[in-house]
Amino acid sequence: MYNITLIGMPGSGKSTVGVLLAKALGFGFLDTDLVIQQQEGALLQDILDRRGVPYFLDAEERAVCSVQCDHHVIAPGGSVVCREGAINHLKAMGPVIYLRVPLEELKRRIHNLDSRGIALEPGQTLEDILTIRAPLYETYADYIVDALPGQELAESVAQVLKLVSAP
């Protein structure tokens, strides 16, 4: 079994880079946000608004742990590192790559913080969750790819491609 998982903050490019990476490698692509929505029968933001963050994270863990695939690029939500069972399931499936993007660049990229389905407790900011999650992303990553502010998407894809091979 060989899959590649991209982790990182919302807006770091897991979904956008992931699908291009899969295309370049001839792999399948799986965005686990879509699995959550289908399993829960609701949109991400609706789950968060109606059930709260802990329920959402548990639902994400259930969805991620239900994934069984081979030769796929997997793009989980940024919150996947908040549940050990979820991130460990992905780690067992192949290498994990952290797309590390500076806070200012994340803020430039995200225009819909309140509707995008981010697991923010009331009053929490993007900076707050970056502070909590950065050490988790670094701990769980097999490789880290740094994106410079303003870096072209194609360059981010090329950086990841250099790290992975297609056995």
Ligand X SMILES: Nc1ncnc2c1ncn2[C@@H]1O[C@H](COP(=O)(O)OP(=O)(O)O)[C@@H](O)[C@H]1O
Ligand Y SMILES: O=C(O)C1=C[C@@H](OP(=O)(O)O)[C@@H](O)[C@H](O)C1
Q: Per residue in 51-81, is it b (16+ CB within 10 Å) or e — as a string?
A: eebeebbebbbbbbeebeeebbbbbbbbbbb
Asked whether position 74 contacts ligand Y by CB under 6 A, the answer is: no
d(CA 78, CA 11): 9
**Residue nearer to ligand X on the CB measure, 21 or 167:** 21
The least distance separating Mg ion from the CB of residue 100, rounded to whole angstroms, comes to 15
Q: How many helices, marked H, and strands, marked E, lie in the chain?
A: 8, 5
By the rule CB under 6 A, 18 interacts with ligand Y = no
Identify the residue among 4, 5, 13, 22 touching ligand X (CB under 6 A). 13
Number of residues lying near ligand Y (CB under 6 A): 12
Which residues is 29 bridged to in the sheet? 73
Q: How far is the CB of 44 from Mg ion (least distance, A)?
A: 10
Residues of this chain, 96-155, that bind ligand X according to CB under 6 A: 109, 147, 151-153
Element of type H or E holding 6: strand 4-7
CA 92 – CA 34 distance, rounded (Å): 21
Of the pair 37, 93, the CB lying nearest Mg ion is at: 37
Q: Is 15 in the site for Mg ion (CB under 5 A)?
A: yes
Residues of this chain that bind ligand X (CB under 6 A): 8, 10-17, 75, 109, 147, 151-153, 156
